[in-house]
Structure 1
Amino acid sequence: MPSNERNIAVIFINWFHAGRTIASVARIGRWRRLHPAVFVVCNGDTPAGRASLRDACTGHARFLELPNNAGFAGGNNAGIRAALEAGFDKIALINTDAEIAEDDFATLLQAFGQVRDLAAASPLIVERDGARESVYAGGQDISRARQTRIVFGGEGSNARFTHPDHLMGTVLVTRSAAWRRVGPLDEAYFFSGEVADWCERARAQGFALAVDREARAFHDAAMAGDGARDGDYLYYSLRNRFLFIARHRVRRKAFLFARWTVIALFEAAKALATGRFNRARACLAAARDGVRGRWGARHPAGGAPGHG
């Protein structure tokens, strides 16, 4: 088992952005007090990109190359399995379009000594999209909330930790014991919703979740691009609500399926009226596949977002 000071694993998922992933690995390598091991899981890249990742993954970083795009869930599961087999006590999932400073990461680790039965903790997520900046503190139940992310304004209780319905997968630190009891991310989601599902299962087993208001991470939302957000990102976000309902809201399934179908049709109509045809197609496909129970990758070859 790794020594205590190195008893943390960090997982990055690469999907055709080797330069960004390498920069993320390098930032962790510059930390002075914490020395986590890094697992880079490659869901896909060009031959040159894969080669550069192999070259970069030396010393504290290990390269895991998957034959196909396994999505956010499958890619992270590969890293989680490797970290569990290696005996790490804490496992962090960090998006390559997100950054957390060493001091904030160290602050976040304190949650595991202060919150009883804690499965996972996340910092406040400061999201930057051009000149706009928003701060989020976890999320609401994805079976009922259209805008699931909880906006943090600094008001309310002075308590250091908040306990939302689910945490955001942008930056997430987890306890290995929770993975062993709760199980891996559900790969039927492929992308989006799998962390909310895992949090739901963790809470059902008596684990706690926490957002640490004293720690912050930064997420560059602009890296996704408008095309992705109106296409595959939207598709998975909407379709996977049906999956979450089928898994966790069985008694209200008929009502909730009808509600989200109406929402999808309404959003598709709005998109058509403004000429956003890619968005309309995503909404209609999400409702169709959600009702039919078609899960996994939207595209047969897995050509879809491979990171969180």
Structure 2
Amino acid sequence: MSNAYRDDERPGDRQLELSIIIVSYNTRDLTLDCLASIALETTRTKHEVIVVDNNSSDQSAAAIACQFPEVRLIALDTNIGFARANNLAAKQAQGRRLLLLNPDTIVLDCAIDRLLEFADANPSFQLWGGRTVFADGSLNRTSCFRRISLWNLLCFALGLTYFGRRNPIFNSEAYGGWDRDTARHVDIVTGCFLLIDRLLWERLGGFDPAFFMYGEEADLCHRARSLGARPAVTPEATIVHYGGASDVVPVDKRVKVFKGRITLINRHFGWPARVIGQALHLIVPLTRWCGYGMAAALARNAEWQKNAAYWEAVWRRRREWIGGYEAKRVEPA
């Protein structure tokens, strides 16, 4: 990696442009591919790469150390979660900007260099993101979102987001109808490909460690906007994001996502909006369990029956997520 410095090679009289932070958990092959793409496609930006391995059981840490000795590896003996792991790495980072990058990503066409150029051209934004696609090149819409509101929660609960995926009114949270093909200000840049000024990160205190996984970047962006940041994304910086590689059980991922969303509501909604938001989340698995179940019975559709079973499992585990992460507070990393 020609532009990445080892600890003993880092110049003491100047700061690196960028610290790339990756948190891995049982994603060995994907992480190795991600690191290889960084080395290949990031040629114009002086940077370092820091990988925090959250006690993976697939020999991720050993493989990274062997194949990428120039990467600064922090191998943990316990899984401290996405938010705290990023905070831990950021404390050791040397770059004037931080790039949070998921391990299940592939950097395309100098995307990191291009994102830095976008940031340099728009420094007042303070927080930037790019465009994400799936492996087949189709759009992955999860690079950014609009903040949660009672309206988009209602649309989500009633299934209007499903039937109106491209509708900017019924699917406002996902910016329905916008293919991420223009540069635009957004409420939330997701943590799979998030660039932030180091000074802003430090003012914010990094991620709220109460979030174990999912929701932490929405909280960060909310607090950043309150300090004057204007998050924006550009299609000029495009990466592959496979999505959800650390969660092999879909229900487990949904439980974590709901837990994060409830925590966001608890943090940023006042009463009675907070109570309404929690109730709408309870409606989500019920409407889908009942809807898919009835449709499957009428049409004898095996796929719909699987969907019904999935949402039934989410409903039955509601006590795990309805309180958010509030019940188990953690100390900062």
Q: What's the TM-score, normalizing by structure 2?
A: 0.75
How far apart, in 1, do the equivalents of 2:257 and 2:277 lie?
15
2:44 corresponding residue in structure 1: 33
More displaced stretch, 272-281 vs 172-181: 272-281
Higher RCO (C-alpha under 8 Å, 6+ residues apart): 1
Q: 2:66 matched to 1:45? A: no
Distance in 2, matches of 1:181 and 1:272, equals 48
Specify the alignment match of 1:141 in structure 2.
Answer: 147
* CA apart distance, 1:5: 8.3
For residues 103 and 296 of structure 1, what CA distance do their matches in structure 2 show?
Answer: 42
Does the residue aligned with 1:180 lie in a helix, a strand or coil?
helix
Give the drift of 1:193: 1.0
Q: 1:92 aligns with which of 99, 107, 112?
A: 99
Asked if the contact 1:140–1:166 (Cα under 8 Å) also holds between the matched residues in 2, the reply is: yes
Q: CA RMSD in A?
A: 2.8
Q: Match of 1:66?
A: 76
Of 231, 249, 261, 1:241 maps to: 261
Identity within the alignment, % = 21
**Which residue is equivalent to 1:300?**
none
- For residues 128-184 of structure 1, the C-alpha deviation after alignment (integer angstroms, 9 at most, x for no partner) is 4xx6822436201134433643353367xxxx6311110122211111011111121
Match of 1:149, SS?
coil
Q: Which runs of 5+ in 2 are unaligned?
A: 1-10, 157-170, 295-304, 329-333
Aligned-pair distance for 1:234?
A: 1.0
Give 1:117 deviation, angstroms. Answer: 2.8
Q: Deviations over 1:89-113 (max 9, x none)?
A: 0111111211223522222112333
Q: For residues 265 and 2 of structure 1, do their structure 2 counterparts lie closer, same or farther at Cα, with a shift above 3 Å needed? A: farther
Whose Rg is larger? 2
- Per the alignment, residue 280 of structure 1 pairs with 312
- Give the Cα separation in 1 of the matches to 2:45 and 2:54: 27
Shift of 1:268: 4.0
Aligned to 2:274: 253
8 Å CA contact 2:285, 2:311 repeated in 1: no
Give the AA of the match of 1:133: S
Mapped pair 1:232 → 2:255: no
Contact 2:47 2:95 in 1 (8 A): no
In 2, the alpha carbon distance for the partners of 1:65 and 1:74 equals 14
Closer/same/farther in 2, CA of residues 296 and 4 from structure 1, 3 Å limit: farther
Residues 1:2 and 1:143: Cα distance change in structure 2 (over 3 Å): farther
SS in 1 for 2:187: coil
Deviation at 1:210, TM superposition (A): 0.8
Provide the secondary structure at the position in 1 that maps to 2:148: coil
| Residues 253 and 170 of structure 1: CA distance in aligned 2, closer, same or farther (over 3 Å) | same
| Number of aligned positions between the proteins | 284
Aligned structure 1 segments of 4 or more residues deviating by more than 4 angstroms: 1-5, 222-225, 270-273, 293-297
Deviation at residue 214 of structure 1 after TM alignment? 2.3
Q: Quick one: distance in 1 between partners of 2:58 and 2:180?
A: 46
Q: Are residues 3 and 12 of structure 1, via their aligned partners in 2, closer, same or farther at CA, if it must alter by over 3 Å?
A: farther
Residue 65 of structure 2: SS of its match in structure 1? helix
Cα drift, residue 204 of structure 1: 1.0
Distance 1:5 1:99, change over 3 A: farther
Deviation string for 1:11-62 (max 9, x for gaps)? 1111112232222222222343334211010012237443222223422x10
Relative to the length of structure 1, the TM-score reads 0.80
Q: Which amino acid aligns with 2:213?
A: F
Alignment of 1:1-308 (within 5 A): 6-30=16-40, 31-46=42-57, 48-59=59-70, 61-83=71-93, 87-101=94-108, 103-128=110-135, 133-136=138-141, 138-144=144-150, 145=152, 146=156, 148-151=173-176, 152-153=178-179, 161-221=183-243, 223=245, 228=249, 230-251=250-271, 252-270=273-291, 274-276=305-307, 277-285=309-317, 287-295=318-326
Identify unmatched segments of 5+ residues in structure 1: 298-308
